[in-house]
Structure 1
Amino acid sequence: MSTFHITFKEQKQVFEVQDISTLKEKVRSEFHIDEDIRFQLYDKTWDDWVDVEIHQLPQRGKIQIITIPHEDTLPINLTDLSSTNSLFSESYNFSDAPIQIEPPTKNFISSMIQLAHQKESCQSTSQAEDISSASTSSSHSWNVEEDCSTGESDVKRKWLEMKQWPDKFALPRLPVVLEGKLNAERMPNDRERRQIVQTLFDYMAGFTSYPLSAHYSEAVRCLLEKYPFLGKETIPGARPVEYWRMKIMDKFRNERKHMPVEKKRKSSGVTPAKAVDDQQLVDDTASIQRHKKWMQEEARRARQNEVKISQMMEITFQPRRKWIIDEKPTVAELKREFPCLFSQRQILIEMRRITPSIDACHAKDLLMSNLEAYAKYLIDSCQSKKNAKAIVNNYREAIANLTNDQAKEAKVLTALVLVPFYFKGEKLSSYLVGDQEEDSLLTAHPKVCYKGDLYAPEEIVVQAENVLVCTCKSMLDALCCLICTYFAFDMEYPKECKNSLLLAETMLGAKNRTTRSVQSLIQKVLSCTSKV
């Protein structure tokens, strides 16, 4: 009997099979997956998930599942996505109603929650209309196979002509002298390291001018697999994996600033990319505007394509970040320009783009693992503090009715809630507001608002400048999203909760962003818990 812990998106399940060859079909059946699937195992050497064959899965292993699109699925052309809007306009009805931003009111939490419900209601209505429209106008539907066979589909023809990112990345050929030196495991000097980066850039630029995060990781993985000694701690002041990844990213960033219409790069044994015209370049302003327009229309749809949204958000990250930092737009303006950013998933991914050292997509797990050992001390030490005793008593009453997993989460949440009591002048209500504390909503900085009991809230939202940012399923998710919101919107922590949020940020793995007060509390907690 073989046992595996398998994760697919937000679903987690333990599978037991007699014959490992039946695992794939059982997983597809349990998770209701129509596409083919691929197994991934976490590799500590590369600090990433890597593909493995089914016979390589370890007993009681922790496995991740990703789906493989069907072969007849069209490849994505990132430069022409905006043109697909007209193709689907007959099947989907977009609402042109602008986003309503309500001024702060006494019953603001209720209004924010109603706004979230209205969005869900609109999506359900839109979905019903889509189905109705599809059934009544089938004569106008766009048949991809028919158009392709008759030569009528310009969009598909462009997609087929585009050079797509390879399914399996192969390390390009390096200059002969450099390759001989690396084969002899001799550490390259600065000039030779630049040659390596240049060769990787020339090859990758043949596919895209804006590689995704996974593309950079794949290139570095291939480099270090062929030359493992490059992954040793031999570069002063740098982790090898991050060093090569950042060098390649910097190379792309610098080249994009002055990349001409025809990409003229000196090739190191690699055939250069074919010349493309202005409209096909991802780098230009017009392309970025088309991507933004596509996301604005996609945000109104009932069923959104999360994969494409993530790709578009990745491509527009640099101009978006520059606009936020230079122009300081309001949150309402930001929501009008990039509505897809305003979801729990995209806020966390944006944090990871800004600070790759923090695994924001697993922020809740990081908080749980890093803070759980110290939560008991933080709770017990607060029992005698003014106004904190009621929170501690409420926690002790609540855990009596919770499962073990829920009790662990409640303990970490309580510790975070009590942190402001350790810092002079800080207030819990400056970033966590219940429905009995709506006066605290008059301030504009981001905060978590919830309705009901702290340990069993009916609704949870994150809002900034009285604009709904996202809804969350748990309080810990919401607090993680709150920290990510400050990063994504380039905002500073307010004085009345700065140390509290910095401590939470430190628990997520942030470095060099702390104060003496936070360091003092951390040292005190570490000292007391070590004695225990």
Structure 2
Amino acid sequence: MLLRVVLSEMDIRRLSIEITPPSVDALCQVLRANLGLRGGFILQFEDPAFKDQLTNLTDIRDLPEERATLKVLFTADAACSDSTLDSASLPSLSSGESDSQHWPEPFPIPEFSHDVELTLQEANGRYAKDGSVLVIPKGMKTDILDTLADSMSKISPYPERQHYENVAKALVEKHPCLKEPGSGKGWYGWFHSLKFKLGNYRQKLSAAGCPEVRVNKRKGEEAKGPRMKRSKKGEVHYCPDPPEGLSDEDMEEKRMMMEVEVLKKDPDHQHIDELMSATFSKRRKEIVGDQPLIGDVMARWPAMFCERQVRAEFKRVVSIDLLESFLDGLDDLAPRLLEVYEAATKSAKKPALKAILDCLKKDDTNERRRIAALLGLPHYLREEPSDIIRMCDAHGETLAAAMEGMQLGLLIGYEGDNQDAFPREVFNVAVVVEGTVVLHNFKDVPSSFAMLLGIIYCVNLEYPRAMKYSFEFLQRVVMKIKPDQASARVHGIRNKLLRYNL
């Protein structure tokens, strides 16, 4: 059976399944396992009986036999709400807002216990008559907060400020008797109560074995503060739960199958895709929790170190397409970046930046403008890129000599003499991590930059200190991942670019 699954306007997936599931619930679990859906959702399908208008799917027999189009609508507590996460992606993030994209808007307030619902119903009636608010007993408030915390944690155990505000606002809109008489917004106290409740609730989740919470380990018994291992770069699926129905032993068996498949002369890439998808939670648990050396990661997960799988893994982690998002964002910004660079060379002594711009006078193609925009970024941001971005003659110095002291970066190989800031003809670009080439044979610099950023996310690396603002710019401004959390320096250049757009 062939399915066209609409997760969002920007994320429409194709899924082939051999056997039609016996029920709608079973179909939900198939979608969870193959697409990594998290939280509650309901399904709609294009109903042939109504000229392909969307209809809620309540009986699996209503689904067309050979091929069908499904639309996934995310909720907080729908019938298929057993929160699990396998691998692939949530709805794509056209605005780079990561978790905000799959957080329901407005938040659907769940049903509370029967006695609380009866009390609220009566109090809401009084509020409608005379505007009187409810004096909330302690036990009732605890029940409300516990229920909300449970619903919120199924979406993310680490909600952001706007998520707490979203829930608090939805609560008093559904039950106006819970408004705070001394608060202008009417829900500010609930906002703070939810933050404290989620903090306590995460302790319960950690004790119960939730991977995303347990990964926050302390440095040692003598350490006072926590070592936060949770998402720092806008990851949506940072350390996900294992997929339902798959034990750790099952995933290890699939990992070994993947290892064998990669060694074949003509590997089945579709099969590798499926195995990598099924073992995503195990891989993230190892990478995030154990922080292995890159050599160990390559030995255990050899399939991940190719362009196809880096793009797939990045989409599982961040829920956007790596190469498409990077190049589209770069093309949109490159003309303004070059104008900003040009202005900077006139007002300050920036010889390295001027040398990069001079290359465009000899050959001003779109590809070289992309390269100039990328290579000029660290110089404009007053960073030193020499240990992260290196040029070398492909037939001159040895690879070991070219990579000496290189912990993370790009090695750009060219042929023949090169007297310019960057070569006209790129022979081979390699991505280097911990002195090891993890990806190579790229023929253009922009795609290589995207792959370097993808590797940083896939193996959970920190941005290199010497170019941390450049990589932050690529993340927040070029790819629009968490743009609202930019540092002052990145925020400054973004504002300049916006002014050039006027």
TM tier, shorter chain?
Answer: 0.5 to 0.7
1:31-430 paired onto structure 2 within 5 Å: 46-49=9-12, 165=30, 173=58, 194-196=76-78, 199-201=79-81, 213=88, 233-235=105-107, 247=154, 282-356=245-319, 358-384=320-346, 385-399=350-364, 407-424=365-382, 426-430=383-387
Corresponding position: 1:504 with 2:474: yes
Alignment partner, residue 49 of structure 2: none
Per-residue deviation, 1:417 = 0.6
d(CA) in 1 for partners of 2:325 and 2:107? 29
Change in Cα spacing, 1:49 to 1:473, as seen in structure 2 (3 Å) is farther
**Conserved 8 A contact 1:291-1:316:** yes
Out of 458, 464, 467, which is 1:488 matched to? 458
Once the two structures are superposed, what CA deviation does each residue of 1:14-72 show, in whole Å capped at 9, x if it has no partner?
A: xxxxxxxxxxxxxxxxxxxxxx999x89x89633337xxxxxxxxxxxxxxx7979xxx
User: 2:389 corresponds to which letter in structure 1?
Assistant: L
d(CA) in 1 for partners of 2:412 and 2:277? 31
Per-residue deviation, 1:348 = 2.2
d(CA) in 2 for partners of 1:490 and 1:46? 29
The percent of aligned pairs where both chains have the same amino acid is: 17
Change in Cα spacing, 1:75 to 1:382, as seen in structure 2 (3 Å) is farther
d(CA) in 2 for partners of 1:213 and 1:326? 20
d(CA) in 2 for partners of 1:329 and 1:413? 32
**Conserved 8 A contact 2:10-2:91:** no
Per-residue deviation, 1:338 = 0.4
Change in Cα spacing, 1:450 to 1:487, as seen in structure 2 (3 Å) is same
Is 465-474 or 480-489 further displaced after alignment? 465-474
Alignment partner, residue 427 of structure 2: 458
Structure 2 regions of 5+ residues with no counterpart? Answer: 21-26, 35-42, 46-55, 60-73, 93-101, 109-150, 158-204, 211-242, 415-421
d(CA) in 2 for partners of 1:442 and 1:306? 34
User: 2:275 corresponds to which letter in structure 1?
Assistant: M
**Conserved 8 A contact 2:310-2:451:** yes
Change in Cα spacing, 1:351 to 1:164, as seen in structure 2 (3 Å) is closer
SS of the residue corresponding to residue 439 of structure 2 reads strand
Once the two structures are superposed, what CA deviation does each residue of 1:95-142 show, in whole Å capped at 9, x if it has no partner?
A: xxxxxxxxxxxxxxxxxxxxxxxxxxxxxxxxxxxxxxxxxxxxxxxx
Per-residue deviation, 1:463 = 1.6
Alignment partner, residue 526 of structure 1: 498
Once the two structures are superposed, what CA deviation does each residue of 1:224-254 show, in whole Å capped at 9, x if it has no partner?
A: xxxxxx9995339xxxxxxx9995688xxx8
d(CA) in 1 for partners of 2:424 and 2:107? 48
**Conserved 8 A contact 1:282-1:288:** no
SS of the residue corresponding to residue 479 of structure 1 reads helix
TM-score by length of 2: 0.53
**Conserved 8 A contact 1:432-1:449:** yes
Once the two structures are superposed, what CA deviation does each residue of 1:464-519 show, in whole Å capped at 9, x if it has no partner?
A: 11222222242111101111211212111122111111111121111155321111
d(CA) in 1 for partners of 2:19 and 2:336? 49
d(CA) in 2 for partners of 1:37 and 1:172? 16
Change in Cα spacing, 1:381 to 1:464, as seen in structure 2 (3 Å) is same
SS of the residue corresponding to residue 499 of structure 1 reads helix
**Conserved 8 A contact 1:201-1:248:** no
d(CA) in 1 for partners of 2:407 and 2:8? 40
d(CA) in 2 for partners of 1:442 and 1:173? 61
d(CA) in 1 for partners of 2:326 and 2:429? 15
Is 380-389 or 480-489 further displaced after alignment? 380-389
Once the two structures are superposed, what CA deviation does each residue of 1:444-463 show, in whole Å capped at 9, x if it has no partner?
A: 43211121163420111112
Change in Cα spacing, 1:379 to 1:304, as seen in structure 2 (3 Å) is farther
**Conserved 8 A contact 2:426-2:443:** no
SS of the residue corresponding to residue 281 of structure 2 reads helix
Change in Cα spacing, 1:232 to 1:482, as seen in structure 2 (3 Å) is closer
**Conserved 8 A contact 2:430-2:438:** yes
User: 1:430 corresponds to which letter in structure 2?
Assistant: D
Alignment partner, residue 392 of structure 2: 435
Per-residue deviation, 1:217 = 5.7
